[in-house]
């Protein structure tokens, strides 16, 4: 369950008034982690398909070891096309899933930074990050920087052009 309020947000020294979401259950019972799963919308210029993206999400969760150790309490994603939406679909029914979409009014009010502000909101409500990206994406890079500044535990799955050509 989320509650929302208009709050000032600091992003690289600039302050914005942006809708602030907070998880109603904080922290999650049993000390389980709140894990952001985020990443690129496309690899090598090609949109990520649902099947390929879902396989990448499953792979990254497995590689992190957090699911095997039963450390994931909920999954947070930004509802963007690509990895974010695949994460929501893969994790629904397995973990509680919390989505942080950027509303149209926020895109219009904060062009160029609304997605970064959303990423900062997610990081404020998380303990860990699984980042699935191409190593170049500007939005994913910003998510990584925000997570590092917040001290989140981070697992990265970097997809190279050679890996994307074999995706089938």
Domains of the chain and CATH, by start: 31-165 (3.40.50.450)
Per-residue model confidence as pLDDT tens digits over 134-145: 999 999 999 999
Q: Is residue 155 predicted with pLDDT exceeding 50?
A: yes
Q: Answer for the pair 59, 36: CB distance below 8 angstroms, yes or no.
A: no
Q: Measuring CA to CA, which residue among 61, 67, 71, 68 is closest to residue 30?
A: 71
Report the C-alpha gap between 168 and 23 in whole angstroms: 38
Report the C-alpha gap between 54 and 48 in whole angstroms: 9
Per-residue model confidence as pLDDT tens digits over 45-101: 677 888 999 999 999 999 999 999 899 999 999 999 899 999 999 999 999 999 999
- Quote the pTM value: 0.81
DSSP H helical segments within the chain, as ranges? 50-64, 83-91, 104-109, 114-124, 138-150, 161-165
Q: Answer for the pair 137, 40: CB distance below 8 angstroms, yes or no.
A: yes
Average pLDDT of the residues in 14-18: 48
Average pLDDT of the residues in 3-27: 47
Average pLDDT of the residues in 99-113: 89
Q: Is residue 166 predicted with pLDDT exceeding 50?
A: no
Residue 46 is predicted with a pLDDT of 73
Backbone angles phi, psi at 45, to 5 degrees: 80, 0
């Amino acid at each position: 369950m989320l509650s929302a309020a208009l709050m000032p947000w600091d992003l690289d020294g600039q302050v914005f008034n942006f809708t602030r979401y907070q998880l109603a259950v904080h922290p999650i019972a049993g000390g389980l982690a709140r894990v952001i799963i985020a990443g690129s919308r496309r690899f090598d210029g090609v949109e990520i398909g649902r099947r390929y993206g879902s396989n990448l999400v499953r792979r990254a969760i497995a590689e992190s070891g957090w699911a095997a150790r039963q450390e994931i309490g909920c999954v947070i994603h930004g509802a963007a096309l690509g990895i974010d939406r695949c994460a929501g679909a893969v994790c629904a029914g397995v973990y509680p899933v919390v989505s942080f979409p950027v509303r149209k009014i926020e895109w219009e009010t904060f062009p160029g930074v609304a997605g970064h502000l959303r990423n900062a909101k997610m990081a404020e409500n998380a303990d860990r990050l699984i980042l699935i990206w191409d190593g170049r994406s500007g939005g994913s890079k910003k998510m990584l920087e925000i997570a590092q500044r917040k001290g989140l535990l981070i697992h990265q799955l970097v997809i190279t052009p050679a890996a994307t050509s074999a995706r089938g």
